[in-house]
Structure 1
Amino acid sequence: MNKFHGRTIQLVRDLSTDEQIYLYEQTRRLKDELSQGGRGEDFRIKDPDLAAYLFFMEDSTRTKESFRNAAKFHGITVNDFDAKSSSFQKKESITDTVKMLLGYNPASLFIIRSRIEGVCRWLETAMGQYAETMGFPKPSFINAGDGRHEHPTQEFLDEFSFLEHLSWDRSQIHIALVGDLFHGRTIHSKVDGLGIFSEVRVDLIAPPDIMMPGYYINAMKERGFEVRIFESIQEYLDQHQVASIWYFTRLQLERMGERLQNRAGELRKAVTFQHDWMNRLPPGTRFFHPLPRHSETPTIPSFLDTTPLNGWDAQSRNGYLTRIIEIGLLGGTLGADFSGTSIVPQSFDGSFIFEAPVVHRKKREYKIGIRPVENGMVIDHIGKGKSPQVIWEHISTIRRLLNLNVVSSHGVYRSEGEGVFKGIISLPGQRDFEQQAMETLGAAAPGCTLNRIQVAQVVQKLRIGLPPRVQGLTGTRCKNEDCVSSPELHEPILPDFYRSGENLLICRFCETPHSFNEIWGSSWAGEQF
């Protein structure tokens, strides 16, 4: 048993940097042995009781077949789950299907490809609990590509290929990412994958409509990457700092709306390499591509196949090798000699309620509006700085979410000190809020204050921030319609978000970022800001 056995790989960062490097070192050892005529016996699991399920709900050739052959290399049972002829056609949930398969073969590893995002993270939680209840070994799940989200195993083979090209020098990398950077999940995985290098320079080349989403660009910058943006290869080559590693992706028309599909020719031209540009590349340049290329209009044209620029053929072969190691790690036969730092489990600890000093001011005479509370609670600073219209809608939303159907009052006023608008809800007779109500208040009105009043005096002032975790609150949902937690998919999942920085909530399953008001879906009445 080792630190990898029974783990799940939903994201690249489900393996620490040290663990990723270990994966690459083991793959290098395996490749060297096989190239010298060896059989890699020390890398094999050889356990027919372990079953690998190829659970592909989207079409795939390279990923599926490389995993199939990697599993066969290990001598384990390989089950090919046919989604098209399964009970999915009868509206069975993914949760129930995987639970059934796990019951047939308790020692299982599921390799899942789906348009639904965050599937492996959900199943890791749900099936881990189920296995514990039934006394089964903890199953592993490998994300073989989920929608537009991530493709970690492709990233591992990509990074292995880059390391080979750079003669295993991890001091720096300068890479150009070219093509459909918006829909390309292999591109999104590079935010974490490139972190194995000490210094990272990334050039993003794509028209604005298919440029990498801002969330991922910001994440790259936060990691210390130097990021530059170009709208076409032509624009990129017109400057002099050209990378020697290029990573192309195809236009993913199947994920585009009609507007972008109608502009496919224009978009493709901006990211397709032309013969006239050959002499503008630095010496030793290598092109990579996750494949497949479009047979009629590839972004890497076929005239490049027999040139030294071709790095994609060897890259494809590396997928089989890295996936042998991934299965070996999660299956328990590899990793006993790992001595680096492992991934730290995600923690949701942290407070969002802070005591603030109580300042007693001279009592004001209220002739209109809210009458001072003798005993009760006052929610203050709602939507501070917004327009009166937005604050009124914000107040209405809070009252609905907290079910404040009580004798009370509310209004919009100017802040005495700053002169900006703010909302107030006055609740005479209200003694306290339960924890769930406090979490709801923090998630719906971060930045507000909660004042406890006794005998017309504020005896306690609490500043309410964004909770570190927002799970299962009534009315919340992920805004990503392709998220596994989407109500339309009818999986038994509670919405689950964690705080990132001070202002964002990230879906725990698909990692879609939300402002606080975006998690409330149709429950939110106010402006999206």
Structure 2
Amino acid sequence: MTTPQQVVLRDAMRRLDMTRDAFADRIGCRRRTLDTWLLPDESSEFRAMPEIARRFVQEILERAAPRSPDSTQSVYNDGLTADAGGAMRHLLSVEQFDREGVEALFRLADVMQPIARRRKVTRVLEGAVLANLFFEASTRTRVSFGAAFCRLGGSVCDTTGFTFSSMAKGESIHDTSRVISGYADAIVVRHPEQGAVTQFARATYVPVVNGGDGPGEHPTQALLDLYTLQREFSRVGKQLDGAHIALMGDLKYGRTVHSLMKLLGLYKGVRFTLIAPPGLDMPSAIVEQAARNGNAVEVRSVPGPGLANVDMLYATRIQKERFTGESIESLDNRFRIDRSFVEANCAPDVVLMHPLPRDSTPGAIDLSTDLDRDPRLAIFRQTDNGIPVRMAIFAQLLKVDQLVQKSMRDATWTAPSQVGPEDTLE
């Protein structure tokens, strides 16, 4: 089966490190023409890319110089996360990835988009079972993992909380992991203790995915955030290299920003502005790692002026449930990101992101709902992108990534033209 033109074009832009405007100029077409080639096939404005254009893109890629070795970081591999051949065994940390590995995963996520949009179906994981072991409450992440596995043709068994698990009876992580491995072909674990998911992985050869380990990491959230950010930047003519990223809110317990900051360190010249109330600062080890990577890092305790040249503002919820004596007396309305804050402090093309859930009660110190219709708000595009990214992760772990494209067929039901009032499926 021929690779979809959208996948070919997005892959080329990533490998050449070009924005849409620059890429359109490089292949000699108008930006508007390129946009129509990138639309989903079912869009009324979609246009097929001429074969001569496809061949020209391939020729450009063949002539392109290989990526410089110093543009990537070494892969984290202690024998647990990858097998002898380098294939991914478990997904425990973003430190497993180098830049090439991230881009390969994103190419696969592009292939998954028609399935995630409910236009195509595949059964490459038919008969496979996923165990979703969530020892912390979760709605969005748990359902997202389950939906991704089901979209590949597999089935899902869920459990939530300690109360109804054998661990409440004193069973060890090792025993739980070993037992569940006899039932399931892949395991997603969310656990309140940092490092617990790695213990699950050490007890089994069945692929284990970290769905969040206490204040540690949330690698799949960071991957879908980066995938979303790359797509958002592409629309406005920006690149990840040289981007200015602001992370704001609870940076101490916000495991999503821990993983995201590490991933963004794979790109050249990324600058960080870290804004957190006193006591909720980004862990020093992560800040020091960014500095070693050559990233410029500014640490602030007060939001407001100075965000005018920020390309992406990423807000995080204050995670009071993880507090161990911290005081948030300094948390006030200055940390509330609403329309007036954005208009006063941010650029017209800033990308606004949040890992969700957010506190949507009136006056909450979080990302305000009065931004929901603002096109700069990408939070629902983030959640939508969780499906193709997690599908790509499962496909790599279970080694069916080469089978997906040729196994696709048209969906037999009527899919929604858009998911909600804020966003479309494009």
TM-score above 0.5, yes or no: yes
Classify 1:46/1:200 alpha carbon distance in 2 versus 1 (closer, same or farther; 3 Å). same
Q: Is the 8 A contact 2:191 2:197 kept in 1?
A: no
- 1:250-399 paired onto structure 2 within 5 Å: 250-260=317-327, 263=329, 266-277=330-341, 278-296=343-361, 297-334=364-401
Deviation at 1:171, TM superposition (A): 2.9
Q: Is 2:247 aligned against 1:165?
A: no
Matched, 1:46 2:125: yes
How far off is 1:336 after superposition?
8.6
Structure-2 separation of matches of 1:223 and 1:335:
34
- Aligned mate of 1:88, from 147, 167, 186: 167
- For residues 465-504 of structure 1, give each alpha carbon's deviation from its aligned partner in whole angstroms, at most 9, with x where no partner exists: xxxxxxxxxxxxxxxxxxxxxxxxxxxxxxxxxxxxxxxx
**Equivalences for 1:163-242 in 2 at 5 Å?**
163-167=230-234, 169-234=239-304, 237=305, 239=306, 242=309
Residue matched to 1:29: 111
Q: TM-score w.r.t. structure 1 length? A: 0.56
Report the secondary structure of 1:60's partner residue.
Answer: coil
- The answer to whether the Cα contact below 8 Å between 2:307 and 2:346 also exists between their aligned partners in 1 is no
- Deviation of the 1:331 alpha carbon: 1.1
Give the count of matched residue pairs.
315
Q: Secondary structure at the match of 1:99?
A: helix
Is 1:59 the counterpart of 2:140? The answer is no
Q: Structure 1 pair 33/109, CA: closer, same or farther in 2 (3 Å)?
A: closer
Q: Which moved more, 1:83-92 or 1:166-175?
A: 166-175
* Structure 2 unaligned spans of 5+: 1-82, 405-426
**Whole-Å Cα distance in 2 between the matches of residues 120 and 190 of structure 1?**
18
Tell me the distance in 1 between the aligned counterparts of 2:147 and 2:366: 28
Paired with 2:294 and 2:136, the residues of 1 have a C-alpha distance of: 35
Q: How many angstroms apart in 1 are the aligned matches of 2:114 and 2:181? A: 36
State the Cα distance separating 1:84 from its structure 2 match. 2.4
Q: Whole-Å Cα distance in 1 between the matches of residues 115 and 209 of structure 2?
A: 26
Does the 8 Å CA contact 1:6/1:331 hold for their aligned counterparts? no
Q: Is the contact made by 2:133 and 2:187 (CA closer than 8 Å) also made in structure 1?
A: yes
Instruction: Give the equivalent residue in structure 1 for 2:176.
Output: 97
Once the two structures are TM-superposed, the CA of residue 233 in structure 1 deviates from its matched residue by 1.5
Q: Give the AA of the match of 2:333.
A: K
Q: Distance in 2 between matches of 1:64 and 1:190?
A: 20
Residues 244-286 of structure 1: CA deviation (Å, up to 9, x unaligned)? 210000000001134425x3xx314342124433143212112
Shift of 1:85: 1.4
The residue identity in structure 2 corresponding to 1:13 is: E
Give the whole-Å Cα distance in 2 for the aligned partners of 1:93 and 1:326: 27
Letter aligned with residue 314 of structure 1: R
Q: After TM superposition, where is structure 1 displaced by more than 6 Å over at least 4 residues in a row? A: none
Pairing 1:118–2:195 present: yes
Provide closer, same or farther for how the CA distance between residues 268 and 307 of structure 1 changes in structure 2, counting only shifts above 3 A: same
Is the 8 Å Cα contact of residues 112 and 145 (structure 1) preserved in structure 2? yes
Given the superposition, is the C-alpha separation of residues 260 and 112 from structure 1 closer, same or farther in structure 2, using an over 3 Å criterion? Answer: same
Residue in structure 2 matched with residue 76 of structure 1 by the alignment: 154
Structure 1 residue 169 displacement after superposition? 3.4
Sort the Cα spacing of 1:46 and 1:257 in 2 relative to 1 into closer, same or farther, 3 A: closer
SS at match of 1:204: strand
Larger helix percent: 2
Structure 2 residue corresponding to 1:17, chosen from 99, 108, 111: 99
> Pick from 234, 239, 244: which aligns with 2:311?
244
Greater gyration radius? 1
Displacement of 1:230 in angstroms is 1.6
What is the distance in 2 between the residues matched to 1:259 and 1:191? 23
Measured against aligned partners, the alpha-carbon deviations of 1:155-198 in whole angstroms (never above 9, x if no partner) come to 00000011001118343321100100011101111232103422
What is the CA-CA distance between 1:101 and the residue it aligns to?
Answer: 1.8
Partner of 1:149: 216
If each structure's strand is expressed as a fraction of its own residues, which one has the higher value? Answer: 1
What is the CA-CA distance between 1:17 and the residue it aligns to? 2.1
Q: How has the CA–CA distance of structure 1 residues 191 and 310 changed in structure 2, closer, same or farther, with 3 Å as cutoff?
A: closer
The residue that corresponds to 1:7 in the other structure is: 89
SS of residue in 2 equivalent to 1:80: strand
Counterpart residue identity of residue 197, structure 2: C
Secondary structure in structure 1 of the residue aligned to 2:203: helix
Q: Give how far 1:298 is off.
A: 4.5
Q: Residue type of the partner of 1:126?
A: A
Structure scoring higher RCO (CA < 8 A, sep ≥ 6) equals 2
Distance 2:371 2:119 in 1: 33
Say if 1:231 and 1:270, in contact at 8 Å, map to a contact too: no
Give the drift of 1:119.
2.1
Residue number in structure 2 paired with 1:350? none
What's the Cα RMSD here?
2.4
CA contact (8 A) 1:109 1:140 kept: yes
State the Cα distance separating 1:126 from its structure 2 match.
2.7
Deviation, 1:97, is: 1.3
| 1:440-519 pair list within 5 angstroms | none
- Counterpart in the other structure of 2:21: none
CA contact (8 A) 2:193 2:213 kept: yes
Superposition TM-score, scaled by structure 2 size: 0.69
Cα separation, 2, equivalents of 1:179 and 1:268: 11
Distance 1:180 1:16 in 2: 27
